[in-house]
Structure 1
C-alpha cells in the first residue's frame, strides 16, 4: 500500500479536488492531510473527503512533510501539493510505479508549466557546479515526489523553500536510485517577486549547506520561521479584531470525553508512573513537568493519534460552526499540551487554542514543558499555576470585554472562569460550586443548548445566584485548593470510561438561529 501525504496551508478552495483526483487510482492507498495551522476552511474541506487530518507542530512545509511521514503506515510515501487542480488521474501510478517495481527508491516529477525562474536562475546553475550529477533534472524544485519510507527516515527536511531540493540532494548522497517522471502539464498560481526572492535565497542556502557539510541546524532559518509565524498570528488577530463576542471551551472538560493525559499514559504504558505522580505531588506545576517527562521520545504523530482516538462531545463541530456563523470567536483552553490543542482547534474549526507548550525537537517530545505566563501568577520562584488568569489575557489579546465572553466548563478549576466571564456555562458540572457560580447549566449530553444561550445577552441570561462578590468569598485557602487539585482531578476522574452517552445528541438536530 501507499501513503499519500498532502501538506496544506490555506488551501480550502482546492484540497477536495486534489483528494478526489488522488482517489482515482487503482492502488490501495491512505491519504493524510497535514494542516500547517490554516486560517481558512482547509480542514473542514479535507474532512468532507473522509481522510485523516493531522496538525503540524510548527509552521513550515518541511515539518509538515516529516510529520506526515511519521503518521504514515506504509512503506511507500508519496507527497503532493494541495493547491493544484490539473493533476492527471494517474498521478499515483506515475509517481510510484518505478518504486513498486524496484527500479527506483525515489521519484521526482517534472511537468510543463508557465514559468520556473528560480529553477533556471538559481537551482540549476548551482547544481551544475556543486552536484553535476543532478544537473540534468528538469525540475529539481518539484514538490510532487515519492520515496521508500526507510530512506525518508534518514534525510533532513528543510523547513522552507529549500525542502524539495534538499531531499533530492540527500537521496543522491545516500546512493538512492532516483527516477524523474513526467506528470504532464500543471497550472498553479504565479509567485510574487517578493516570494521568488525569498525562494531563491532559501534554495541557494540549502544547496550550499549540503555541499559544504554545514551543520543542519541553522539559526537564521529558524529565526525566519518564527518571524513568519508571528506575522501570520498577527494577521489572524487583525482579521478577527472587529468581532465583539467570544465563546471559550475548556477542551478537557467539555469537549474531550476522556482525559487526554491519562489516555496517553495508558497508550504508552505509563499509567502506573502517572498514578504515582498524582499520588506524590499536589501542585499543578509539579504534576505538569513530571507528567510531560513520561512522553519523552514520543513523536507528534503518536501524540495526535491518541487525541484522534478520544471521543468528543458529538455535536461540538456543528455548534462551533453555528456560533462562528453568528459572529462569535470560538477558542479552546486546556491544562494539556499545545500541539494537541492546536490539532483539536483545527479539527473542530475553532479560532484559537491556549495550552502548555511541550518541547519537540524534530517533532519528537523531549520530556520538557513550558508553562506560558498566562497560566501563572506571581514571579520567578513564587510563580503558581492558576488557569483563571487566561480570561484576562484573552480579553486583552482579542480586545473583547470579559462581559462579552461566554465560558463553557465543568470542573473545580473552572469556578473562577465561570464566575468572571460574561456568561458562565457549566456543562455537566462535576462540583456543586461550578454549578452555583455559573449563569447557566447544560445537563444534556450534547452542546446544542449553548446556541440558545448564545442568542441572549448576558443580562438576560444571568440567573439569580449570589453576586460575584459573594460567590468569590471562598478565601485564599479555597483558591489554593483549586490550583493544587486541578490536574489530579483531571486525570483521576477519567480512570473509568466516559460518563456521558452520545446517543441523545444523535437524536437531536440543531435549531437554526
Structure 2
C-alpha cells in the first residue's frame, strides 16, 4: 500500500465534526511566522471566524513568532491568535533561529491532539485547507501525518514557486527515499500531524523540518502512515534565489544525515559560500542543528 491521496472535499464538515467529537480530539492550528505582519492577520482571522466561531473544528490558534522585527506579534494578537515568541518558550531548553524550531517549540504551548501547521505568508488560499488536512487523521487511525498539495501559479509556469522542491527535494527523494516519490508537494508548509507522533520525532530547527518528518515517518510506520490531500490553489511570497541556497543546504544536510552520511553534523553550522561577483565571496553560517524529540520534556 502506498501513500494515500485524497481531495479536500472528500469529507463533509459535518462528518469531521462528528468524528472529532466521537474521538474527543482537540485541534490546534499552529502558524510559525517571521516578519509576516502583512499576511498573518488574514490567516488568523479567517480561520477563527470560519472554523472556531462558526463551527467547532479548531480549538485554538497559536502563532509562534520566530524573532520577527516587524509587527507580526501585534497583528496576530489583534486578529485573535494566542501568540508566543519562540525564544521565550521553555528558555531552559535554549533557543535557535528557524521554522523548525518554532514548530518544535509549539508543542510546549499547544493542547491539540491533532496539530495543523500553516505558513503565515499565504495570499491565495481558503479555510478549507484546515478540514482537508484533518480528514485523514480523523477518519483513519493508521495515518500519522498529512501533507497538503496544490497548484502553485507563477508568472513563468507552475513550477516557478517550487524551485527548492524541483531542484533539491525531488531529486533527493528519487535517489535516497523513493518510497516518498508519490508526494506532490513534499515541502508543503500546510500539513497536519498527530501530536504524540510529532513529539517523538527529531526536528531540524530550520527549513528541513518537513522533509525530515516525512522520511522518519515512512521509515518507522511505512507509507500507509502518510496521506496527502489536494487543497486547490496556493500562492505565497517567493524568496530570493540567494536565500533559497540556505534552505537547500538545510534540506540536504537533513537528508544526508538520514542516509547515514558521517560528514553531516546535526549539532552545528555549515558555512555556505556564495558569489555575487568575481572572486568576492559572501559567506553565511547555515544552522543544521536538530532538536531531540520533544516528548522527553513534555
Q: Is the TM value for this pair above 0.5?
A: yes
Partner of 1:421: none
Partner of 1:102: 140
Aligned mate of 1:77, from 95, 115, 118: 115
Partner of 2:84: 54
User: Is contact 1:81-1:143 (8 Å) kept?
Assistant: yes
User: Is contact 1:79-1:146 (8 Å) kept?
Assistant: yes
| Equivalence map 1:59-458=2 (5 Å) | 59-102=97-140, 104-113=143-152, 114=154, 115=160, 116-175=162-221, 177-212=225-260, 217-220=266-269
Superimposed CA distance per residue, residues 322-360 of structure 1 (whole angstroms, 9 cap, x where no aligned partner) = xxxxxxxxxxxxxxxxxxxxxxxxxxxxxxxxxxxxxxx
Flag the structure with higher strand content.
2
Between the two proteins, the alignment pairs up a number of residues equal to: 232
Structure 2 spans left out of the alignment, 5+ residues: 1-25, 88-94, 155-159, 274-283
DSSP-derived class of the 2:122 partner: coil
Distance 1:85 1:79 in 2: 16
Distance 1:221 1:152 in 2: 26
Deviation >6 Å, runs of 4+: none
Superimposed CA distance per residue, residues 376-401 of structure 1 (whole angstroms, 9 cap, x where no aligned partner) = xxxxxxxxxxxxxxxxxxxxxxxxxx
CA separation of 1:200 and 1:97: change in aligned 2, threshold 3 A = same
Structure 1 spans left out of the alignment, 5+ residues: 230-360, 365-513
* Post-superposition offset of 1:19: 0.7
Is it true that 1:11 corresponds to 2:59 in the alignment?
no
Distance 2:112 2:272 in 1: 34
Superimposed CA distance per residue, residues 212-268 of structure 1 (whole angstroms, 9 cap, x where no aligned partner) = 1758733225999x9579xxxxxxxxxxxxxxxxxxxxxxxxxxxxxxxxxxxxxxx
User: Is contact 1:21-1:87 (8 Å) kept?
Assistant: no
* Post-superposition offset of 1:60: 1.0
CA RMSD between the two structures: 2.5
Distance 1:150 1:222 in 2: 34
User: Is contact 1:22-1:91 (8 Å) kept?
Assistant: no
* Post-superposition offset of 1:193: 1.5
Partner of 1:45: 75
> TM-score scaled by structure 1?
0.43
DSSP-derived class of the 1:180 partner: strand
Superimposed CA distance per residue, residues 273-313 of structure 1 (whole angstroms, 9 cap, x where no aligned partner) = xxxxxxxxxxxxxxxxxxxxxxxxxxxxxxxxxxxxxxxxx
Partner of 2:14: none
Partner of 1:387: none
Greater radius of gyration (CA)? 1
CA separation of 1:21 and 1:213: change in aligned 2, threshold 3 A = farther
Is it true that 1:29 corresponds to 2:59 in the alignment?
yes
User: Is contact 1:76-1:149 (8 Å) kept?
Assistant: yes
DSSP-derived class of the 2:231 partner: strand
Partner of 2:15: none
Taking CA–CA contacts closer than 8 Å with sequence separation of 6 or more, which of the two structures ends up with the larger relative contact order? 2
User: Is contact 1:14-1:85 (8 Å) kept?
Assistant: yes
Distance 2:260 2:196 in 1: 25
DSSP-derived class of the 1:174 partner: helix
Distance 1:213 1:204 in 2: 11
CA separation of 1:186 and 1:29: change in aligned 2, threshold 3 A = same
